[in-house]
Structure 1
Amino acid sequence: MQEAGVDPEVYIDNELYPIPIVTRTDIPHEIMLKRFDTENTVHINAIEIEESAEKRQSVTEGHRNSLRQKFARLAAFNWAPAGNGDFTPVKAATGAKNARGYKAMTYEMVMDMELAFDELEVPTEGRILILNPLHAMDLRMQDLNMYKAFYNENKLFSFTVVRSSLTPRYNGTTGQKAPWNAAVAATDAPSSLFYYKEAVARARGTVDMYYRLNDPEYRGDVVGFNMRGVATPVTGKYLGAIYSPKA
């Protein structure tokens, strides 16, 4: 992929001829696909006969759900900035203590993030907010009518809103994103994610099923699933987060 280079200069009342000629230098980016494999599951035929349940279908759907959830969690983790930066505003919530003991998210903080995106000149079309359910509860407690309005429209100020509990955790003391699969810590802070849709890349391939039918050892079927995909920032810019440290 190519990130466009610097746009050309514009001259006002130009008196210099010939007008200078420059070459735009684009920045190349390489995005590597990851492979997702589910652990294999055995489906014993005799059990399904005894239970009179369509367990085979349930098993296969469980594999697909696991792949979808793992991919979504990885996407949210990768798209969340590691910490506060010039192009990646990361802010700590400052509201009162909520029912879970964290500092609450407020509408004012969402407006502050909108201002940060405005200052970065991020286009308003394509701004996304992945709203953590805990933060959704905070906003509902702050103003129920306002919450109902944006919940019905999936739009809060200039952000299109998607609710998800798969957003990453931040260190509530340092403001840094917790490592992938890090153990739960007392300093963990739930977060909501903000990003510009053109600043991230996502591609998910077809889901392939691998199976061994009528296995003589298990007297049933052994199945597993595989998928290739990627979810990553493209340039590392125009990403943001609000996290709630312990109150």
Structure 2
Amino acid sequence: MKTVRLLTSILLAAIFSMAIEVASEGFIPAALPFAILMIASLVPMPQGVLRMALQVEIWQKDVVDNLYKDNQFAQWSVNADQYVLMGKVVHIPVAGSPGTIKKNLTVFPQTAAKRADTEITYNIDTLYLLPRHVEDIEKYENSYNKRQSMVGEDQAKLIQDGMTNLLYRWAPAVANTILTEGDDAPAAISGGAGNRKKFTKKAFKDIKKKWDRADIPVQGRVCLLTADHYNDFLESLSDAERTDVGRVANLETGIVGKYLGITIMMRSTVLRYRGADNAVAVVDELAEDFAADGEDRAASLFWQKDCVERALGSVKMFDNPNQAEYFGDVYSMSLRFGGRQRRASGVYAVVEALGA
């Protein structure tokens, strides 16, 4: 193997050297670049230097590039990336109220008033992929690149959990929740026990009325249904309605339908709520002490795109190859990504009611 590498280096050095001599019209003799290239090829580079820098940069970019690939729902929101400071804090200046208007003044001068500007500041969450270890011997025993496979899977999990956390940040309080009213069906949420009321089209009608009364813009109304809620919703439609809902489906953009002017998207899970029917509260599934409860309820989310916000901070990959104490490589990742509600009246959750 070493002999082949040496012969390859000599051949490449000779080709480049002759090319340089031709390009310089003989001013630089081929022997000089040939000697330099051969010496450079024989000098041992620190292990992992070039590979690590290039790979870290590629994977970090890959996280950003694929952030919304299978989570297009997140793009139906206000992008606050430009307001992120130091990769972790969102700082948004907010203009104060406009001036007072009076008609037909007779008294002068009037008192000059300053506009009182404010600001919105909040920290975005940091998600950590805990260190992962790839033993050096696995690089040779496996028929595939285990390291690349692990990094790819971990990257996808980091993005997926980041989106789960974004939905948690958008989740409304109990005042903006609506309970399902369909027939009883076994709980589908992980850890749930007993029956839950099915999701039906009535939820769309109820939320549309609330939005109309609150002057929520008609454009940009969207919902993210759990897979079970979406299927239950379709069952509650007439044949004609079901046909109309699917007319605008576009899997490339994540849209699976539209009903009453509300764009429909789907995800395996969306939100988890817990508590009595009149006092449900959203559950943070990424919390350190999270544990499923038998009475947990699945929930779907409805919002208007200007009523929620997302913010992407820093994305980092840490790569430590050839660690003696691990007999292999160690890597980890972190993602700063979060958001908030901007207008509560534009965000509703449809929460499963407990069944009989």
State the TM bucket, normalised to the shorter chain.
Answer: 0.7 to 0.9
In 2, Cα distance between equivalents of 1:7 and 1:142: 47
Picking from 106, 111, 132, the partner of 1:41 is 132
Which residue in 2 is equivalent to 1:167?
270
Aligned with 1:31: secondary structure? strand
Aligned with 1:30: secondary structure? strand
Q: Judge which range, 175-184 or 154-163, deviates more.
A: 175-184
Q: AA paired with 1:74?
A: N
In 1, Cα distance between equivalents of 2:247 and 2:331: 40
Pair 28,95 (structure 1): closer, same or farther in 2 beyond 3 Å: same
1:139 aligns to 2:243 (yes or no): no
Q: AA paired with 1:180?
A: D
Which residue in 2 is equivalent to 1:107?
201
Aligned with 1:183: secondary structure? coil
Which residue in 1 is equivalent to 2:281?
177
How is 1:64-213 mapped onto 2 (pairs within 5 angstroms)?
Answer: 64-84=155-175, 89-98=176-185, 100=187, 101-143=195-237, 145=239, 146-147=241-242, 149-151=244-246, 153=248, 154=255, 155-171=258-274, 172-181=276-285, 182-213=290-321
In 2, Cα distance between equivalents of 1:4 and 1:114: 30
Does structure 1 retain, via aligned residues, the 8 Å contact 2:171–2:282? no
What is the deviation of 1:152?
Answer: 5.1
Does structure 1 retain, via aligned residues, the 8 Å contact 2:124–2:313? no
Q: AA paired with 1:163?
A: M
TM-score where L is the length of structure 1: 0.84
In 1, Cα distance between equivalents of 2:330 and 2:208: 50
Aligned with 2:270: secondary structure? coil
Which residue in 1 is equivalent to 2:145?
54
Aligned with 1:187: secondary structure? coil
Q: AA paired with 1:226?
A: S
Pair 128,43 (structure 1): closer, same or farther in 2 beyond 3 Å: same
Does structure 2 retain, via aligned residues, the 8 Å contact 1:139–1:147? no
Whose radius of gyration is greater, 1 or 2? 2
What is the deviation of 1:166?
Answer: 3.5
Pair 9,159 (structure 1): closer, same or farther in 2 beyond 3 Å: farther
What is the deviation of 1:36?
Answer: 1.9
In structure 1, runs of 5+ residues without a counterpart are none
Aligned with 2:165: secondary structure? helix
Report % sequence identity: 22
Which residue in 2 is equivalent to 1:238?
346
How big is the alpha-carbon RMSD for the aligned residues of Structure 1 and Structure 2? 2.7
TM-score where L is the length of structure 2: 0.60
What is the deviation of 1:79?
Answer: 0.5
CA deviations on 1:167-218 (whole Å, 9 max, x unpaired) are: 2222353342233234222321111111122222212235321111122233
Q: Identify the structure with the greater helix proportion.
A: 2
CA deviations on 1:41-98 (whole Å, 9 max, x unpaired) are: 11123223212112111111122112111111111111111211xxxx3111111123
Pair 62,29 (structure 1): closer, same or farther in 2 beyond 3 Å: same
Does structure 2 retain, via aligned residues, the 8 Å contact 1:130–1:164? yes
CA deviations on 1:102-159 (whole Å, 9 max, x unpaired) are: 2111112211111111111010112220111121111122237434543452322222
In 2, Cα distance between equivalents of 1:127 and 1:24: 33
In 1, Cα distance between equivalents of 2:263 and 2:148: 35
In 1, Cα distance between equivalents of 2:94 and 2:215: 17
Does structure 2 retain, via aligned residues, the 8 Å contact 1:92–1:175? no
Q: AA paired with 2:245?
A: F
Aligned with 1:180: secondary structure? coil
